[in-house]
Structure 1
Amino acid sequence: MPDATPVISVADVQHLAGLARIALEPAEIEHLAGELNQIVDSVKKVQEVATPDVPATSHPIPLVNVLRADVVGEVLTQQQVLSGAPDAADGRFRVPAILGEEQ
């Protein structure tokens, strides 16, 4: 059963909004205070159910490393790679310079 006394007051929300420099209307502050209290109540419910015999989990299904082995396979030669490039120089891709341009 949810607690009748709100844990987070309107003044708390107003104070936090001021610290975060977020401009909120009075109606927004009221709404957020209610939502934050619902979150606190939900966390309380979860804490009631959590028992020492139930281990905490970050994921419901155990995960394993699914990466393949890092093995070198067939690779392209430098000539093959650069053969499709629009422009190349000194064994590298050649691209237009962008530094110093006005933006």
Structure 2
Amino acid sequence: MDEAAVHRVLTELVAFAALRELAVACVQFEQRPGARLGIWAELISCCRSEGIVNVLVPSAEHFHHDRVIAEFMREELAAKIEGCVSYVSKPVTVRAVGPAAAEGRREQ
């Protein structure tokens, strides 16, 4: 993604969070494809250490171009943080997966 696309996605995520009275605690993205595994571990570590149980992701494609792998990653992240992973898309809608979605746990 170029700088303008990153800015647009961040703006959309912040707007989505604000509409749902969520606070954006951190933003994680890889600057190069080889950084994917490190960013994945950093995301999980950040969520656990900060008590974050809700993660917003722009779309499944931001996890992986293969939908099956993307869905696996989404479910794996939700399990590792014991929370909810939601996709943000246009129009602003959300699909949530994980125990926090069902239990209505604390959102961040």
Q: What's the TM-score once normalised by structure 2's chain length?
A: 0.25
Relative to total residues, which structure has the larger strand share, 1 or 2?
2
Q: What's the TM-score once normalised by structure 1's chain length?
A: 0.26
Of structures 1 and 2, the larger Rg is shown by 1
Greater relative CO, 1 or 2 (CA 8 Å, sep 6+): 2
Relative to total residues, which structure has the larger helix share, 1 or 2?
2
